[in-house]
Homo-oligomer: A and B are copies of this chain.
Amino acid sequence: MFQKRTHTCGELNEIDIDKIVILNGWIDRIRDLGGIIFVLIRDRYGKTQAVFDSSYNNALYQKALKLKNEYVVSIQGKVRARPEKDRNPNMFTGNIEILATNLEILSESETPPIYVNIEEDISENLRLKYRYLDLRKERMQKNIIVRHKVMKSTRDMLSAEGFLEIDTPYLTKSTPEGARDFLVPSRLRPGNFYALPQSPQLFKQLLMVSGFDKYFQIARCFRDEDFRADRQPEFTQIDIEQSFVEKEDIFALTEKLIKEIFEKSINYKGLEIPFPKYTYDEVIQKYGSDKPDIRYGMEFIDLTAYFQNTETNFIKNGIDKGLILKGFVVPEKVDNFSRKKFDNLTEFAKEQGSSGLIWIAFDKEIRSNIKKAAAKEINILVEHGIMREGDILFAILEEKNKIDQILGQLRIKMIKEEFEKKSGFSIIWVTDFPMFSWNEEEQRIVAEHHPFTMPNLDDLAKYKNKDPLKIKSQSYDLVINGYEIASGSIRIHKKDVQEKVFDILGLSKEEAQEKFGFLLEAFKYGAPPHGGIAIGMDRLVSILVGEESIKEVIAFPKTASGTDPMTGAPSEVSEKQLEELQLALKKTNKSEMQNDSRS
């Protein structure tokens, strides 16, 4: 049929000299020097130079003149050393070339609409429309290969630890909690719908009730949200659950897994475990975020004590009223900050809900918007080593329950705008999240994680009746470089605890039964203590390969509006298909909605 390769395009070098070989691949580059043509032939494994020399074989040279970029060819030839001056030490095959003795054109290529062999700045739409060409790029090939290695090393490690991969249904039941479900109409039961799972949460808990003891799955999850920049309607999760454990067991397992993934997928061996642990309250108070990137420092400092006796009236009055003065130091950046910039930042702080922003820049001399009023206190701060020459200190005077959030926003802005992107990895645990939060829109208490999360039992006893928002839970997030990479919890396995939680959520037995019926039913027949974690695999891979967007690590992602420019999905379907599902489109609004195009 065709001359099959004896080697890949990435494996020949000097020890192969004089061998007769056949390579199959794509034409990556062509240099026609007149009478002699050099081509690079490319496959997933590398590139090799082949030479068509008219003085050696003119007929073959004439055939090679027809070649264009991205043609698929089979080249037979003899491996020979490149002349000294033409060697390329950056390529594994850079010291040899193939003197072609035969050429088969396996398929031709029109001029591709996007370049494969150079990085260019083209629209996302064009890249996704021709994704099969985009994926030929070295960078994209590398990303997809790392993704494969992440999946493989995950499965290797968890299987070696006795975990079973168990695949759970994708056609399941719509649940009222959480994000919006994608629905799948049933044809055999018109008027009824399956839902695509937002996660295998309920199934993995049922598998614990079944006694599988250690479960994992690399599972696709689906959420019909209003797609934001880096959200995908379908995403991939490394889902883990284990019985007869406490949270420390999940920490240790996850740490071992993450270390293994870093080593096996990108050969990074520097991760130190265990990862540092912070409670939710700690990170909020120190960084104003539940997923801080602590590589950038800038921990918050409570400055109230230094200003206890200030003569600056607005600060003194504020402190007397119970406000707090808190801030953070941006180190060694004073040269970047003009008066104008401080004004803009003050505006920003106000937008975040602050009444103002105090800034102190330790330039050759002090610049500050409270320089006159609080010169004494500024001196004290300097004396205490809180700030040094070159630093800027930002502070705000605010109520305790608002201040961290505002400072947190400012800190993130500083990280984005004032610092080069740091290399390396900062990995921390954040633990003890609040069990409940107040949903302003629905005017009720909701579960922060989900209602099966085990509360801290001391908190439950102490705060159940008077202040349930103070109850913390046995939940945890893994944060890498400021991204929430994984999230999990110990689950409730006892009826009385579950009932108390439903009670706080204001769910009657009947409502609870209707919403979570089959899980509650299952728990009647012997549920083991269990807990687990789910790792956002797309984001993890993007961090490993240093990509900003998860789209760069998904073979066929969707646009921000959920479309696929390549296949044209989603698309209209035939009347017959709708008829079979007993569905009708509401035509009244159709044209109106379609004008609201977001792709």
Contact = CB atoms under 8 A, between A and B. Distances in A.
Interface of A: 1-2, 4-5, 24-26, 42-45, 70-72, 106-110, 112, 130-133, 135-136, 141, 144-145, 147-148, 151-152, 155-156, 159, 164-174, 180-196, 202-203, 206-207, 209-213, 220, 222, 224, 226-227, 233-234, 236, 243-246, 493-495, 517-518, 522-529, 555-556, 558, 561-564, 566-573, 577, 580-586, 589-590, 593-594, 597-598
B212 A44 contact: yes
Contacts of A171: 182, 222, 233-234, 558, 562, 569-570
A396 to B, nearest CB: 39
B593 A191 contact: yes
**How many copies, total?**
2
B170 A561 contact: no
B188 A556 contact: no
A547 B423 CA distance: 53
Contact of A561 (B132, B188, B190): B188
A26 B164 contact: no
Contact of A174 (B172, B563, B577): B577
Given A571-B173, A584-B586, A526 B190 contact: no
A182 to B, nearest CB: 5
Given A132-B207, A173-B570, A182-B194, 11 more contacts: A44-B211, A45-B213, A106-B529, A107-B493, A110-B525, A135-B212, A136-B210, A168-B555, A193-B570, A206-B556, A582-B589
Contacts of A151: 165, 167
Task: Name, among A44, A169, A583, the residue most crowded by chain B CB atoms within 10 Å (CB to CB).
Answer: A169
A25 B245 CA distance: 12
B568 A518 contact: yes
29 contacts: A1-B529, A4-B244, A24-B244, A24-B528, A45-B213, A72-B493, A72-B529, A107-B494, A108-B526, A109-B526, A131-B210, A151-B165, A152-B159, A155-B155, A171-B570, A172-B564, A172-B569, A182-B184, A182-B194, A185-B185, A189-B563, A189-B597, A190-B594, A193-B570, A195-B569, A203-B556, A517-B568, A582-B589, A582-B590
Nearest to A454: B1
Contacts of A570: 171, 173, 184, 186, 189, 192-194
Contact of A193 (B206, B213, B493, B571): B571
Contacts of A566: 518
A560 to B, nearest CB: 10
Contacts of A2: 529
B183 A577 contact: yes
A366 B166 CA distance: 57
Nearest to A8: B213
A539 to B, nearest CB: 15
Nearest to A129: B518
A438 B156 CA distance: 48
Contacts of A148: 159, 164-166
Contacts of A193: 570-573
Contacts of A25: 211
Contact of A581 (B44, B183, B220, B234): B183
Contacts of A191: 572, 585, 590, 593-594
A216 B571 CA distance: 27
Contact of A212 (B144, B209, B561): B144
A414 to B, nearest CB: 35
Contact of A43 (B167, B211, B220): B211
B210 A135 contact: yes
Nearest to A474: B1
B213 A44 contact: yes
A155 B202 CA distance: 27
A105 B168 CA distance: 30
B206 A131 contact: yes
In the A-B complex, list the 4 residue pairs whose CB atoms are closest, starting with the nearest: A135-B210, A109-B526, A173-B569, A192-B570
A569 to B, nearest CB: 4
Task: Name, among A106, A166, A192, A195, the residue most crowded by chain B CB atoms within 10 Å (CB to CB).
Answer: A192
Given A106-B529, A109-B526, A167 B212 contact: no
A45 B243 CA distance: 13
A445 B154 CA distance: 47
Given A206-B132, A527-B72, A564-B172, A583 B582 contact: no
Contacts of A26: 211, 526, 528
B165 A1 contact: no
A581 to B, nearest CB: 7
A207 B145 CA distance: 13
A24 B4 CA distance: 58
Contact of A70 (B108, B144, B189, B525): B525
A523 B529 CA distance: 54
Contact of A598 (B24, B188, B206, B582): B188
